[in-house]
Structure 1
Amino acid sequence: MMKRKGEKVMGIISIVLNIIGVGFGALILSLDSSSYEQFNEILKEEGEALPIETLQAAANAFGIQFMVVSAIAAVLTLVGVIFLKTNRRAVISGILFLVSAVTLLIGTVGLAFVPIILLIVIGLMALIRKPKTEAHISEYPS
């Protein structure tokens, strides 16, 4: 039985970071209109002003998307960590980690780069690492 403590620890760290990502999405949703007005003033200085309703709708859509994608990635990672208990399911676990990384990459437009990198490393470790086979001792003593 091969111990996969490194994959489990990094998986738990990734789950925690994904939960923080859900909180970040909720933080984006909780912005008030004064924040959008300040952001719009910065855009006016650059010469590209937008209506506040458009800014608010875009931020709300992105906040919801960030929350949903981070929650999906956290669940996939949790299932992958649970599957690491047996070596036979390490391949399935590695695939789940890599799918979670791709989901985060596409869904958060790369903003969750730390969990993405962790999940890619964990996924590759779970797929590549194989249990050590014991060397067969010769039946005939020398």
Structure 2
Amino acid sequence: MKRTAEFTLGIIGTIISGLMSLLGMFLIWTASSDEVRAEVEKQVQDDPMMVQEDIDVVLGLFSTGGWAIIIASIIGIIFGIIAIISIKGNKNPKLAGWMYIVGGVLVGIISLGLGFLPALLFIIAGIMCFVRKQPAEPTAY
């Protein structure tokens, strides 16, 4: 039986996980950029409710969120590649199903919801690995 749908969903999810790491790198760069810091400080001066400590908190959240997204994307890439190799040629669909589901859950949780699309694709592919069964061979009487 061909597993083209699971294979395709896994490849698309793995590619999106890789692209997701670019978002994480952008957030880390934003947190360490002097231009961004200057712009945030300008906004703080205009808003009397904000204080200087808020700048450090906001930029720290950008950096932490960036690292969380990068870690989630690496996990998604690793689990996706293992599952793709396992499903290729219908070698081990149960292992691929578990890799897709575990990878999807981890990507969705660790990325704080920003990895929703690859997580959804991985979970759908994992469910398909378990649901689709080998067609029964006709028996001759």
**What is the CA deviation profile of residues 29-72 of structure 1, one whole-angstrom value per residue up to 9, with x for unaligned ones?**
11123324545628x75945553222222211111111011111
The DSSP-based 3-state class of the residue aligned with 2:70 is: helix
Report the aligned-residue RMSD. 2.1
Q: How does 1:43-122 map onto structure 2 within 5 Å? A: 45=47, 47-49=49-51, 50-87=53-90, 89-122=92-125
More helix by share: 2
The DSSP-based 3-state class of the residue aligned with 1:98 is: helix
Which structure is richer in relative contact order (CA contacts within 8 A, separation 6 or more)?
A: 2
What residue number does 1:3 align with? 2
| Count of matched residue pairs | 136
What residue number does 2:34 align with? 33
Q: Segments of 4+ in structure 1 off by > 6 A?
A: none
CA distance in 2, matches of 1:136, 1:87: 23
CA distance in 1, matches of 2:40, 2:3: 46
Stretches of structure 1 that go unaligned for 5 or more consecutive residues are: none
TM-score, length of structure 1 as denominator length: 0.84
TM-score, length of structure 2 as denominator length: 0.84
